[in-house]
Amino acid sequence: MAIADRRAYLRDIVNLLLAQWPNNRTVNIVCHGHSVPAGYFATPLVDTFNAYPALLHRDLKQRFPYAVVNVIVTAIGGEGSPKGADRFAADVLCHRPDVVTIDYGLNDRRPGLAWAETAWRSMIEASLAQGAKVLLLTPTWDNSGVLDPAGAAWRELSCHAAQIRRLAAEYNVGLADSYAAFERHVAAGGEVTDLLSWSNHPNRRGHELVAQELLRWFAIL
């Protein structure tokens, strides 16, 4: 299998976003995950309107001016994917989402790859069973040694990014590769701190990179 085709995967959703009254309907996008989609910047500050769910909502409304679209955040700071999976039906599927985004890579270093894989599979399969489209997010970076290829932090985060890419390909769902976007910034001569508001939280610039990775899936062809 392969990661879904960006030109086709959300075509039905894009068509709904393009529809005008009285032929349109509300489109629900649920952003599930940990502190990053929850909007934490310099803890305990929660800067909702500069976090990627709000930026995605803004960008979608600019691209689709006739759309009625809700971006619903069900993220909880400090949470890993096993707990996110436990509450998935009650907190995510209850909204009857058209699209679900899942972002737990940073915190999943605590439960580890095996526990994370089980939890991500559970959330992906539950979403697909209800007919929702799924966009998986690889982790944004932090500054705890992630730039040192010989260090444990780099290995852990890169391994979780690789696992998320593999799951996206296995289930033929979408992928917003935040990890690669941060990697490109550094490869072009930037500093990871350019994109951070806190040791492990992106700033507005970092969130913009994530929002752009997501927005690529909502292309008008």
Would you kindly state where each structural domain of the chain is located, as residue ranges? 11-218
Residue 182 carries which side chain, given as an amino acid letter?
F
Give me the mean pLDDT over the 123-142 stretch.
98
163/19 Cα distance (integer angstroms): 36
Query: Which DSSP helix (H) or strand (E) runs through 38?
Result: helix 35-38
Q: Is the pTM of this model over 0.85?
A: yes
Share of the chain above pLDDT 70, in %: 95
Burial class (CB in 10 A: 0-12, 13-18, 19+), 93: middle
The CATH homologous superfamily for domain 11-218 is SGNH hydrolase (3.40.50.1110)
* pLDDT, tens only, 65-121: 999 999 999 999 999 999 999 999 999 999 999 999 999 999 999 999 999 999 999
Share of the chain above pLDDT 90, in %: 91
Least confident of 46-60, 143-157, 191-205: 143-157
**Contact of 124 with 173, CB cutoff 8 Å:** yes
pLDDT of 145 over the 80 cut: no
